[in-house]
Structures are given as C-alpha cells and as structure tokens.
Amino acid sequence: MESLSALFDGFRVALTPAHLGWSLIGVVLGTAVGVLPGIGPALTVSLLLPVTFSLDPTSAFIMFAGIYYGAMYGGSTTSILLNTPGESATIVTALEGHQMAKAGRGGAALATAAIGSFVAGTLATLGLALLAPPLVRVALALGPAEYFGLIVVAFAAVTSVLGRSRTRGMVSLTLGLTLGLVGLDPRDGQARLTFGIPYLLDGIDPVIVAVGLFAVGETFFLAARHGLDIDELVPLKGSLWMTREEWKRSWKPWLRGTALGFPLGALPAGGSELPTFLSYGIEKRLTKYPEEFGRGAIEGVAGPEAANNAAAAGTLVPLLTLGLPTSATAAMLLAAFQQYGLRPGPLLFEQEPALVWGVIASLFIGNALLLVLNLPLVGLWIKMLSVPRPLLYGAILVLASVGAYSVHSSPADLVMLGAIGAIGLALRLGDFPVAPVIIGLLLGPMAEQQFGRAVSVASDSVTQAFARPVAGSLLAVALLLLAWPGLAKLVRPRRTRG
Amino acid sequence: MPRPTLLTTALTVALNFATSLGAAQGGTPTAAGQPRLAEPVRTVAGPAPDLTIVAPAAPGGGWDQTARVMQQVLRTSGLAQSVQVVNAPGAAGTIGLARFVSADAGNGSALLVTGLVMVSGIATNNSPVTLADVTPIARLSGEYEVIVVPKGSPYQTLGDLVTAFKANPRAVSWGGGSAGGTDEILVRLLADAAGVPRSGVNYIAYSGGGQALAAVLGAHVSAGVSGLGEFAAQLESGDLRALAISAPARIAPATSGFDAATVPTIREQALDVVLMNWRGVVAPPGISRAERRALESLIAEMSKSREWQEALARNGWTDLTLVGEDFGRFVTDETRRVVPLVVASGGGARRDWFEVLVLGALVASVAAAGLQRFRQRAMEPAIHATNAPLNRRSLGLVAAAVLLEAALIVPAGFVVTSALAFTLVARAFGSRRIAVDAAIGLALAAVVYLGFAKGLGVSLPTGVFS
C-alpha cells in the first residue's frame, strides 16, 4: 500500500506538461533508434548524456525511460516489416513476424506486437513498483550454475526451430556456436579463431549477424531468384487489424511472455534475449497450430514481443533497488544517475523518492503513449510493403549498413555484414534453416561462460557445481524437454490401447 | 519511412538545440549559482586549432567519457576552438591505437585516450603497435580499486582473506571485470605479494561491472575487486564491506555518500601493492617538438581549469595529472610491471574443451548432412539432379553494392555511398529509372544522415561534403 501511494505521487510528478513532453520526445526518439540495427537505446543515451546534463534529473530520466521502451517498439516494427531486427531482443520477432507480413498479415503482427508490448510493459512496470525488493533477493541467490541450467532449458526449448531436418538444423546451430567462439575467450582473454585479425578479437556482433543473415542474406537470395520465382509478398490480406481469431490466439502468449520476461529480465545475467527464445519455444509447444510456425504464427510474435518488453522493465529492478546495471542500457542509465550526483543503490528509494517514483510512473505513461502513437501508424507502416521492391530492398540495404557501420564506426563491419549475408544466401540456397545460427551465436557464449564460472566457484568440481536444487531441476527439465518426443511416442500407444 | 524519420529529425535537432542553449545559460546542477569562467585563461599561444580526440572504445566507457568530458571542458573554457571526438573501439583499444599510429602520424592536433587497460591489452593481444610508438602527453585521471566482501562474509580484514588464500588458493574465488583488465591485474599483484603461485589464482571474469557486483552481493564469489565507484552505493548501504583500497595512502574524506577514507590501504595491511586504473592522452608519432610542447601545455591548462576539476568530482575520478617526460617514464614502468602479469595468464597448455566440442560438433553435423544428401541423391536422383538456376546478374549487382559501400563509405562519405548502393540494388530488382532511383536514394540517405549524424551525434563519415 505504501508503494501505491508513492506511485500515486509519482504520477503527479510525471503528469506535468513538461514531463509529458520529455516522455513524448523520448518515446519518439526511442522508436527511431530502435528502427536502426546497431543504434540502440544504450548508444542513444550515451550520446545524449552530455547534452541532457543541463536538464533536471527527473526530466532527463523520464526521457531516457521513454527511449528505452520506445526502442523495443521500433525494433519490432523493422523485424516484422523488413526482416531487419533493430535490437537483439527483437531477433525472434522477425522469425514469425516477417512471415506474417509476407502473407498479408503484417498489420495483425504489428498490432499484436504493440498491444502485447503494452500489456507486458504495464504489468511488468506494476511488478517493478510492487515486487522489486523481494524479487531482487531471489535474483541474487541464483548463481552461475542456475544460469547455466536456464540457458540449457532455452536451448532445449528452441531445438524445435531447427526446422524440418534435425541434421540440417544441427549444421546451422553448430555454425552459430562456431561464430560465437570467434574473439577473446571470456575466461582467460586468449584469442580464439581470430586468424591474427585484430578486428575479430572482440568477436562478431550478434546484431550484425542477425541483420546479415536475415536482411542482407534475404536481399541476396531474392536478387539471385529475381525474375525466376513468382513474387511471394502480399501487402495486405483481409482486415488490417487483428481478427477475433487472432485476438484469441494472442492474449495467452502475451501473459506467458510477461511472466517469463519480467523475472528473467530482473536476473543479473538474464538479459532480454533469453526470455524471447524461451517464449518462442514455449509458444511453439503449446500452440494448436504447430504447422503454422515458420510460416507466420501469431503466437510466435505475441509471446516474444511481450517477453522483451517485460524484460526491459525487469532490468530496472536490480538497477533501481541495488544499483546493479545488468544490460548496456542499464549501465548507461547508471552513468547518468552518477552524473547527477545520485547514487542508485539500496538507498535510492529513500533518498530520491520523487525521482524514482516519477520515473516509474513515466514508464506507465510512456507505454501508453507508445500504444497511442503506434496503433494508428500500423496502416502507414503496412503501406511500406507496397513500396516497389527495387526501392524497398534498396532502403533495407541502406538501413542495414548504417546500423552495422555505426556499431564500431568501421568499414570492416560492412565487410562482415556482406560476408554474413553471403553465408545467409548459401544457407537459403542449401535449404538450411537460418534461425539456429542466431540461437547458437547468442546462447553458446553465455552457456560457456556460466558453465566455466559455475565450475570455478565450486573449486573446479563439476558435480559439486550442479548439485544445487534449482540448477539440478533446471537441467532435469531440459533433459525432459529434449526427451519428450521420444517419451510421448512411448506413452501414447498404451493410452489408445487401454 | 520518410515521414516518421523527418519528425524525429526535427525533434532531435530541436532537443539538441534547446539543451545546448540550456547548457550555455543555465550551467550544471553542481555548479549552480557559481559564475561560469568567462575569459579563456590560455596563456601559451593563441587558441588551439581544431583538435581531434580519438576514444579507442565504444560510446559509454571510461575512455569515451574521458574524451567527451575533455571535449566539453576544452570548448567551454575556450582553450580550443573546435574539438571532435572519434570512437575507434575494439580489442582493449589496440585497434584504435594501430589506426591512430598509421593514420595520424605527424598530426599535431590529434590525441588518443589511453590507459592501464591498453597497456595490458597490447600484451594479451600481441599488438604489433605499442605505446612506445606514440608521443606521451599526459596522465589525467584514474580510479583506485577496492577489495570487497559481502556483509555476511567471515573475512573481516584483508589479512583474513589473504590467510585463507595462502592456505588454499583455489578455494578463494575473486570476482571482477574482464580477463586481463585492471581487476585481474590487482589480484595477480596480490598473489605475487602474498607468495601464491599465479596458476593457483581462481579469478572469475565477468563482463561489465554489474554482473561482478551481483556475484559478490549474492556471495557467489569469496571477494570482489573493482573500481571504487562500482561498489560505492553498496558500501554506503552496508551490503558490502571494503577490506582494502589500492591507493598509496588513504584517500581524502568524501563529503557525501560512502567515505572511502575509512578504508585501509593494501600497504597498511602488510602487502606492498599499489594500483590505479589510470587514463591519459598520447599524441601521434612524428610530431614536432613545438607541437608536442603546445599539446602538453594545452592539457596542463585544461587539467587546472575549474570545469575539469568539477567534471572529475562529478565522475568520481581522482586527479592524477602528470605531464610530458614524467608521463613517458611512468608508461614505461607500468609496461614493465604489468606485461609479465598478463602474459603469464595464458601460459602453459590450454585445455579449451568448449572450442574442441563446438568444432567437433560442426564437423560431425556437416558430415551427417553431407551423408544424408548423398543417400537421398542415390535414392531419388530425379529430385536432386537439377540445381535451381541463379540470376547471376542481379546477385552480382547486390554484392557489388555491399562491397562498394565497404570500400567507399570513408573516402566518399555516407550519403553518396548509400545513394550509390541504393541505385545498384534497385537496378538489381529490375528498376530501369536510374536517375529517379539515385535521387530517392540520395534523399533517403540525407534524411538518415541529418537525423543520426547531425541530430544525435552518431559518427557517420561525411566524405566529399567535408
């Protein structure tokens, strides 16, 4: 109850015209930077820090919060329409979302993403306001062994995206894992698979790989098939909005995505990618329309989109309650707090209640603003699909390359983008699935690091490292998920007979 | 696409304009009420010409912040007319260093931000270019490291921790930042001083300060090592306990927040270890003696300015100004001390089971897929006999567009290159109106450029328009 009245005071801070204005600027700016791959909320906040220094802290943070949430919206729009994920958290959205757009259901995909993000953002922000202190205690108790268990569960849950052929899926997955090896070994800082090229020492940026495989790879592929295939792209089929049926298929994934995203986002090493993969895997297993997955299933957009927005709110839990930055954006927000002489941490809620609750209230407001801004724009965005294809693909390439270039301000990133695009073309021509490459690249290094840490912490004993209740049960769940198809076959015949 | 981007552009530009106006008039919150320094205090020569500061890191980190704070201070104090910050991130700064040495040689108005992490990065990455290849200008600021334990830890003093460390080195785990960074260097120095062999050190590297902090708070590691600033809030609240600070003597008492003056130094606790995560600036090789003197006095003036001192306080940095030859000798000493520590870390036989596992799985799955294809072909030759034809011309045009972008973006600039790539791709997809496409491409690129480079300050090359 105490939090509720504090939140009410927060609304009084956030609802002043000036603060509403900053929130609006934030969400619009966030949407714009979310559209460009490579330019994300972290980079934007860091570039704006020097110029916002003259603002009062509350205005600045209200704007930054808007940028953070807005970027999640912008990233999903380009994922769906252009197959160009703007953020690593929206990579999964491209899998089903772009297929929906190609089949004329882009409007519904954008709507379910926007409404799902709103629902998830609102519920998760409520969670942030009410549950932050107890949640963070649980989160801190989880160590590397538990994270490793969680990542293995995610791997097991998404093996279903391996595609029709397990063997081919494994080629893609191990290719992704191999790309993830490139760079410095996170445990001892030694170079791996860098072939003496300094550029490769920092590894390959997942956003460049995603954009290279999806956007550039597809542009290559379509160019290679130009004039040989019939155009598959249907700008709009049926209603622009979600149908009754699509609403019915969306609301449960929204809630499940929120339930996954918020707690995982609050974990110090949870991040926003892990929940999107998990949500996708779960939706694919629970859906009544498994045959639609890979061809544009709305559940595959609704779930991950809710998950990434809920995770964004979850990230603020450790930041505001402990001063723990668990994502690049949170780290920039922390730097911003410090610039203002504020010390986010256990004492922030006591020392700066107006600021903290004002920011939390502005998250609700920013979320609502985003929904109000984005829903009417759906019609306009959809028109983009009617742009003649020569111009559409020209624009995709320009956007993909400006994003890739700005990651390191280096032309080498453009070479890498082209090379990954060529791999994407080869995979498509050889009928290998593309999504597992990304899964391997993102989850592989995470799994390796957490495994290494878990074993080191347990004084180099593997059995001791995982003989913990939570870690052990997570590994058991993963095993069950992997063995499920086989077990199901064993169980079913008996039932029919009996 | 153009409409919302235009809208954003307008807003961004308006925002930047409004806030820069605010900055000119209002001043900073910490400096509220104090008059701004009106007259430039530059005494040496006329105002410096255009200065370029290269931050060999992505926006946001300590080196980037140093560059951007310098930019602001040099501008507002009138010491330089125009200052440009360029980010050249990668490989602990060694990519930026190599580019700086080759591209800026002889340029008397360029500076590169450097620091302890670059010294160790040069060694671990076997960088062919080292800090001996640049002209030292000045050390500027730095941070001391603290060793902390969670509040429930049995270790009350550094002595307790070191006793346990000596008794069973692997049982004490140290959590800190990335491998080979300042935090690991400190743990290795401690191990040397305590007589523990380097191979026994159980150092767990976390990416980013937040994750290491979470590991200490959750008591997943025995002790945490990081810059004072990273732990200050949790030390203030009592969730962490500081055992020692890596400063040569106790630091000055703080007026607010956590008072680090209460933390004993490592030296006080009978181990002779001092370490600071210092940052400084260097100039390119091959500049004249006069240019070198000019840069040294410019930086010396800057570090004395009130704006710089305020920025140090705001960011929690310690003033470590050391200019010219002295700084050069300091860098040589640091290199001699740090390099053996980090080079030894990868010594001996490496058992990288993960690399072996992944590469093995890749080979196995490629082999399995090949075998499957071979079998299918043998069974149903009709289906797999013909390979689908490719439109080589279109594919070639798109590939050319990507390669041209990589080759031309720096010399010709973002706008021209993007328009060219746009036209080529449009042609590949069957458009015949080259002039119209070029115009559309140019317009799109110009809008993106205005919004992101001009409005937001993302560095995109200007090329022919510069």
Task: Choose among B234, B238, B192, B243: nearest CA to B212.
Answer: B234
Please tell me the distance from the alpha carbon of residue A170 to that of residue A163, in angstroms, as a whole number.
Answer: 10
Under an 8 A CB cutoff, do B60 and A42 touch?
A: yes
Which residue did the predictor score with more confidence, A436 or A258? A258
User: Nearest residue on chain B to A384, judged by CA atoms?
Assistant: B1
Do B287 and B106 contact (CB within 8 A), yes or no?
yes
Query: Could you tell me the pLDDT band of residue A51, with boundaries at 50, 70 and 90?
Result: low
Please tell me the distance from the alpha carbon of residue A369 to that of residue B95, in angstroms, as a whole number.
Answer: 42
Q: What are phi and psi of B462, to 5 degrees?
A: -85, -30
Q: What are phi and psi of A367, to 5 degrees?
A: -60, -45
B134-159: pLDDT as tens digits:
999 999 998 899 999 999 999 999 99
Please tell me the distance from the alpha carbon of residue A294 to that of residue A103, in angstroms, as a whole number.
Answer: 12
pLDDT > 80? residue A323: no
What per-residue confidence (pLDDT) applies to B41?
A: 40
Under an 8 A CB cutoff, do B444 and A398 touch?
A: yes
Q: What is the DSSP string of A320-348?
A: HHH----SHHHHHHHHHHHHTT---STTH
Tell me the pairing of strands B276-283 and B223-227: unpaired
Do A475 and A152 contact (CB within 8 A), yes or no?
yes
Gap from A84 CA to chain B (nearest CA, Å): 14
Q: B110 has which bridge partners?
A: B52
Which residue did the predictor score with more confidence, B326 or A348? B326
What per-residue confidence (pLDDT) applies to A162?
A: 62
Chain A residues with beta carbon closer than 8 angstroms to that of B457: 47
Chain B residues with beta carbon closer than 8 angstroms to that of A229: none
User: Nearest residue on chain A to B390, judged by CA atoms?
Assistant: A224
Please tell me the distance from the alpha carbon of residue A238 to that of residue A103, in angstroms, as a whole number.
Answer: 10
Do A398 and B404 contact (CB within 8 A), yes or no?
no
The vertex-B116 CA angle with B113 and B122, nearest 5°, equals: 85
Please tell me the distance from the alpha carbon of residue A216 to that of residue B342, in angstroms, as a whole number.
Answer: 40
Please tell me the distance from the alpha carbon of residue A466 to that of residue A148, in angstroms, as a whole number.
Answer: 9
Per DSSP, helices labelled H in A198-352 are 206-211, 217-224, 244-266, 273-286, 299-322, 328-339, 348-351
Q: What are the respective helix, strand and coil percentages of chain B, to the nearest 5?
A: 55, 15, 30
The residue ranges of chain B whose pLDDT is under 50 are 1-46, 346-349, 384-386
Under an 8 A CB cutoff, do A331 and B359 touch?
A: no
Under an 8 A CB cutoff, do B361 and A411 touch?
A: no
Gap from B326 CA to chain A (nearest CA, Å): 31
Do A195 and A404 contact (CB within 8 A), yes or no?
no
What per-residue confidence (pLDDT) applies to A14?
A: 83
What per-residue confidence (pLDDT) applies to B397?
A: 92
**Residues shown for chain A:** 498
Please tell me the distance from the alpha carbon of residue B51 to that of residue B287, in angstroms, as a whole number.
Answer: 14
Please tell me the distance from the alpha carbon of residue A416 to that of residue A403, in angstroms, as a whole number.
Answer: 13
User: Nearest residue on chain B to A395, judged by CA atoms?
Assistant: B422
What is the mean predicted confidence (pLDDT) over A134-149? 83
Top residue of B87, B118, B170, B365 to mutate, by most chain A CBs within 10 Å, is B365
Top residue of B120, B130, B217 to mutate, by most chain A CBs within 10 Å, is B217
Tokens for A386? Answer: 């009617």
Task: Choose among A88, A80, A71, A83: nearest CA to A35.
Answer: A71
Q: B149 has which bridge partners?
A: B241
> Taking the complete model, does pTM exceed 0.80, yes or no?
no
Report the mean per-residue pLDDT for chain A. Answer: 83
**Predicted ipTM?**
0.80
Under an 8 A CB cutoff, do A268 and B210 touch?
A: yes
Under an 8 A CB cutoff, do B19 and A178 touch?
A: no
Top residue of A135, A190, A232 to mutate, by most chain B CBs within 10 Å, is A190
A99-134: pLDDT as tens digits:
898 888 888 999 999 999 999 999 999 888 888 778
> What does the DSSP 8-state code read for residue A40?
-
Largest CA distance in chain B: 87
SS3 category, B45: coil
Per DSSP, helices labelled H in B104-169 are 116-124, 158-167
pLDDT > 50? residue A427: yes
Query: Could you tell me the pLDDT band of residue A184, with boundaries at 50, 70 and 90?
Result: confident
Gap from A252 CA to chain B (nearest CA, Å): 32
What letter represents residue B276's amino acid? M
Query: Could you tell me the pLDDT band of residue A230, with boundaries at 50, 70 and 90?
Result: low
A234-268: pLDDT as tens digits:
767 777 788 888 999 999 999 999 999 998 888 87
Under an 8 A CB cutoff, do A341 and B314 touch?
A: yes
What per-residue confidence (pLDDT) applies to B138?
A: 92
What per-residue confidence (pLDDT) applies to A161?
A: 60
A71-97: pLDDT as tens digits:
888 888 888 888 888 777 888 898 899
Please tell me the distance from the alpha carbon of residue B337 to that of residue B144, in angstroms, as a whole number.
Answer: 17
Q: How many CB pairs under 8 A join A and B?
A: 371
User: Nearest residue on chain B to A322, judged by CA atoms?
Assistant: B234
Under an 8 A CB cutoff, do A401 and B402 touch?
A: yes
B64, B220, B355 member nearest A457 (Cβ):
B220
Largest CA distance in chain A: 76
